[in-house]
Amino acid sequence: MNRERLGTVLLSVGACLGLLLATTGIVKSDPEVPEDAVAVVNGHAIPKSEYRRALDALRAERPNASEAELRAHVLDRLIDEQLLIDSALELGLADRDPKVRADLGSAAIGVIVDGAEVEPSDAELRAFFQANRDYFRGAPRVHVRRAGLPDTPLSPDKLEQYLGARVTREVLALEPGATLETPQGRVELVEKIPGREPRFDEKLVRAEYSRRAGEQRLRAFFAERRARARIVTP
């Protein structure tokens, strides 16, 4: 039986069990269920926050359904998902299936990068901006003349598309008015236009601050895990 067929069977069985438990009253509140959870499946708590998100989404999809029906359906679905996860781990899919491994890795990175993020204050953002003014400065442009080139200022990246990396580096080292002989013809550097003076854009600065903070958390995670892990290489 392939994995897709197995997943369908497991989900169907889980749905039937959920319906049976709900109708017979076996699923009920239990003192072992944490206050912030709606159920515990094989020792894994299903958070109320996850339950509420799924319930809100289903309410939007099924506006005419009864509240009791929606709640039962969401709880059953979350229980089924946990049963499928348990089954996947028992089958060793995390070790044997490259796609599962990649998806788990991507999900873990997302949790690590986004986890425990502290919202920076306005003062912290402005200090970060001042320390990284060159990063937020607009890209410089150069105006060069050569047959086949647009007679307008271009960014270094755009110029490289026309001239190639080596010739672009040599052109950028020229002073305005100087020329350079290339296999494609003579290139004259007309003008160097510096990048615009950066201004504080809270949305842009906050995004870069968060990106770098996430990268730092990821580096710290790998450093800590490598220190604890037993890694053997040839």
Q: Does residue 36 or residue 30 have the better pLDDT?
A: 36
Taking 50 as the threshold, does the pLDDT of residue 19 lie above it? no
Q: Does residue 8 or residue 112 have the better pLDDT?
A: 112
Tokens 């491994």: give the residue.
101
Question: Residue 122 has what pLDDT?
Answer: 94
What number is the average pLDDT over the span 82-88?
88
Question: Residue 148 has what pLDDT?
Answer: 84
Question: Residue 202 has what pLDDT?
Answer: 93
Residues 12 and 49 sit within 8 Å (Cβ to Cβ): no
pTM metric for this prediction: 0.53
Average pLDDT over all residues of the chain? 83
Taking 80 as the threshold, does the pLDDT of residue 160 lie above it? yes
Q: What is the tens place of the pLDDT at every residue in 43-60? A: 889 999 999 999 999 999
